[in-house]
């Protein structure tokens, strides 16, 4: 069983569309994250949830909205997609705030 799973793995869409990426973890962790990795491999945290509560919200356009229906899920919805949103988005989880992060395999978003 995959510990942290994301869907879809690949997403190609047009500018202006709205899309979602789903993430689920079966590790029983309390904290989940979204990271963005750009074309230069730079990784930047976007959001972090602890027990369904938002605890980290970096300077991210409000077109990005995370939703955590329960501790095991953290979805990312993106409105009005722009070319600059093209990246690989990684979901991750950890048992607590200073613990090891377990990453999903990433969702590669391409905006045309």
Contact positions vs other proteins (CB under 8 A): 4, 40-45, 48, 55-56, 90, 92, 97-98, 100-106
Q: How far is the CB of 1 from other proteins (least distance, A)?
A: 15
Q: How far is the CB of 105 from other proteins (least distance, A)?
A: 5
Q: How far is the CB of 18 from other proteins (least distance, A)?
A: 25
Rounded CA separation 92/84 (Å):
22
Choose between 64 and 90: whose C-beta lies nearer to other proteins: 90
Choose between 15 and 97: whose C-beta lies nearer to other proteins: 97
Rounded CA separation 75/109 (Å):
14
Q: Under a CB-based contact definition with an 8 Å cutoff, are residues 3 and 102 in contact?
A: yes
Rounded CA separation 81/48 (Å):
21
Nearest in space to 103 (alpha carbons), one of 49, 40, 32: 32
Nearest in space to 74 (alpha carbons), one of 7, 2, 19, 15: 7
Q: How far is the CB of 19 from other proteins (least distance, A)?
A: 20
Choose between 19 and 106: whose C-beta lies nearer to other proteins: 106
């Amino acid at each position: 069983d995959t510990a942290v799973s994301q869907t879809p793995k690949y997403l190609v869409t047009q500018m202006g569309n709205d899309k979602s990426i789903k993430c689920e973890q079966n590790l029983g962790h309390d904290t989940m994250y979204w990271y963005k990795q750009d074309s230069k491999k730079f990784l930047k945290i976007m959001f972090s949830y602890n027990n369904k509560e938002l605890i980290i919200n970096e300077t991210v356009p409000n077109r990005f909205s995370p939703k955590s229906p329960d501790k095991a899920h953290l979805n990312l919805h993106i409105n009005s997609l722009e070319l600059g949103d093209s990246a690989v988005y990684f979901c991750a989880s950890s048992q607590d705030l200073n613990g090891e992060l377990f990453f999903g395999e990433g969702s590669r978003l391409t905006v045309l």
